[in-house]
A and B are shown apart, each in its own frame.
Chain A
Amino acid sequence: MNTKSTEAIYQCIDLAFSYQGTEAREHVLRGINLLVKPGDFKCLTGPSGSGKSTLLNLFGLIESPQQGQLLFQGKPVNGLSEDQLNQWRRFQIGFIFQDFQLIDVLSVEENVEFFLTRQKVPSSQRKAIVQDALAQVGLYEHRHKRPQQLSGGQKQRVAIARALAKRPSVLIADEPTASLDTQTSRSILEQLKAINEKSGVTIILASHDPMVLEYGVEEVRLKDGIIISQSQGKRHVS
């Protein structure tokens, strides 16, 4: 489902978002204007409360824009029905969470396969997709294990494979390295970079980890709900 066209994956036009606080509305995002193109690898950075998670949730279509416009593949997200949003999330977006969010009662293989069955991919195709996704993250040999038998890094790689198997247009990763040690974090970031380069899938991640910027990602720096800078990170050399 990768978008090969040059049409923007996301376009934010004066996007704003606020929460109702205990006393007044708290403006989390203000006047966000941002373009995400197919194949981009963007990292939202900034201190806590800068709005990076909220922007990531908006990109993941699990939060709805309140002001301004968010276009996903050229179509406005505002006012879409829950059914339409579910369809987009089911087919177009893959999620990678900080705490992996694997299903304990399913094997590695079944975790990766789960959303394919929900996409109603025929079983003959599912096997090949799962095999390919697990091979990409180097865990095919572990396919029969349960998540609790894996290390943190392996679990995150399964989460990447699960997101990848959906063949999404975009991968949304929220602090994917926050629960991992430095070495494992590097391996995960290398994996993501390789996926981005090889399959051209757009990746947007939110991270506190400055190491992320060593992987040639484009940094979108936020502070107090405003984008304060956008810059191309330096290329990591192993």
Chain B
Amino acid sequence: MLAKFAFRNIRRNSRRSLVAIGTLAVGVFGLLFLQGFFSGLILLHKENSIHSRFGHGQIMTRGYWGQAFEKPWEHWIENPDQVLSYLKQVPHVQAVFPRVQFFALLSNNRINVAGRGQGVVGSEEKHFFNKMNFIEGGPLGERKDGLVLGVGLARALGVKTGDSITVMGQTIDGTINAIDTIVTGIFQVGMKEADDSLFQVQLEQAQILLSTNRIESITLGLDNENNWSTVAQDIQRAFPKNEAISIYVLDQVWAQNGELFLTALLNIFRLVFLGMILLAIYNSASNTVLERKRELGMLRANGESASDLIVLLCLEGLFLALIGASCGMILTLAAQALTTNGIPMPPTPGTNRLLPVKLNLELSFFITASLLGLLTSLAATLFSTLQVLKLSIVKAIRSAA
């Protein structure tokens, strides 16, 4: 009966209830939309990073990552064929890409520009690394003397597809060496640092330039990102001298810092939305107590304790919150349906490409947003109804209607 009474009380002042429900709906929608949007943004960048640069993770010799060496090739993987053939039969591993990385000068016979080169197996990488976003030409593919480079680097050199570029570097024993290449593609991965310095040539060509058979790293493509830790443990057991490093370490800027930044931003917005809900519900519940003083006095005269009345009023707040939160969730689902192609966003810091962000909504987001909305509403109702404790029954019964 108390629940029925509480539920019906919502309709007593329908305009006020609608305002409270609307505030809650907008609040929960805001919480969900922002979390879905930020999550979509992180997901987009992660996918971009995985399928344009790092894969799901990479294998290197232990201690190599993050260290600077005078002769880095001395720390490269010595037995690449053995490691590669093992990796190809590890469960969840779908693709393995041996790579070397080096610094070199790119020359178009007029000017020289420094760049960070990668030697890759072009014929195999073109399917997995499908987010390189070629704005001119295409991936390396089978072309033996091909070269693809970032848009910033291409602009600095003033080259287009089909132009010749000489890549000059040092062999591992310190001799100057060079290879001649043809530009087959210009990419824009969206990260300025990469677009301004990165270029790729065939692995064989890079090994000729460096005069080595070793490889620096092996990039892995998995069936599912969540299987990374299983795969990493397997590899490290088989090759203790090597270590498996995940995308979260390789791409710290986005995978960690970006996520931390967006989470902090989300928390600020959460405070704003929850503050809005708190004030709206507090106002609504306070007015309810004020307007229904006589009724509350009558109930107390008939033996209802102050805590009984607080329960009654909190139940009303809870019903309002449930309806509001449900409306907020429906609004968010509607927004998701309306933006299936993504919300076009200007480049984020450190990037240089427009990205259509899709709302990434997970069940846990709905639970979190609804619970935050419900708990804030309950807290606001509770604060405002505490004045019932001070209610004198006689004064309440005699108060003006």
A103 in complex: contacting residue of B5, B300, B306, B394, CB < 8 Å: B5
Q: Is A140 an interface residue (CB 8 A)?
A: no
In the complex, what distance in Å separates the CA atom of A228 from the CA atom of B9? 46
- The stretch of A30-38, A56-64, A203-211 in contact with B is A56-64
* Interface pair A113/B1, CB less than 8 Å apart: yes
Instruction: Determine the chain B residues whose CB is within 8 A of the CB of A93 once the complex forms.
Output: 302-303
Binding site for A on B (CB under 8 A): 1-2, 4-5, 8-9, 11-12, 294-295, 298, 300-306, 308, 393-394, 397, 401
Instruction: Determine the chain A residues whose CB is within 8 A of the CB of B2 once the complex forms.
Output: 117-118
* Interface pair A105/B5, CB less than 8 Å apart: yes
* Interface pair A110/B1, CB less than 8 Å apart: yes
Instruction: Determine the chain A residues whose CB is within 8 A of the CB of B305 once the complex forms.
Output: 82-83, 86
- Mask of A21-54 contacts with B, CB within 8 angstroms, 1/0: 0000000000000000000000000000000000
Instruction: Summarize B's interface: helix, strand, loop or mixed.
Output: helix
Q: Which of B294, B301, B304 has the most CB of A within 10 A?
A: B301
Q: Which of A57, A87, A103, A113 has the most CB of B within 10 A?
A: A103
Q: A62-B394, A63-B394, A104-B12 are in contact. Are A89 and B1 (CB under 8 A)?
A: no
Task: Give the shortest distance, in Å, between A58 (CB) and chain B (any CB).
Answer: 10
In the complex, what distance in Å separates the CA atom of A66 from the CA atom of B393? 16
In the complex, what distance in Å separates the CA atom of A91 from the CA atom of B300? 13
Binding site for B on A (CB under 8 A): 57, 60, 62-63, 82-83, 86-91, 93-95, 97, 99, 101, 103-106, 110, 113-115, 117-118, 166
In the complex, what distance in Å separates the CA atom of A93 from the CA atom of B401? 24
In the complex, what distance in Å separates the CA atom of A94 from the CA atom of B4? 23
* Interface pair A106/B301, CB less than 8 Å apart: no
28 intermolecular pairs with C-beta atoms under 8 Å apart: A60-B301, A62-B300, A62-B394, A63-B394, A82-B306, A83-B305, A86-B304, A87-B303, A88-B303, A89-B301, A95-B298, A97-B298, A97-B397, A101-B295, A101-B298, A103-B295, A105-B5, A105-B8, A105-B9, A105-B11, A106-B5, A106-B8, A117-B1, A117-B2, A118-B1, A118-B303, A118-B304, A166-B302
Task: Give the shortest distance, in Å, between A205 (CB) and chain B (any CB).
Answer: 15
* Interface pair A90/B5, CB less than 8 Å apart: no
Q: A63-B394, A99-B294, A101-B397 are in contact. List 13 more A-B contacts (CB 8 A).
A: A57-B394, A60-B301, A62-B300, A62-B393, A63-B393, A89-B303, A90-B302, A95-B301, A97-B298, A105-B11, A110-B4, A114-B1, A166-B302
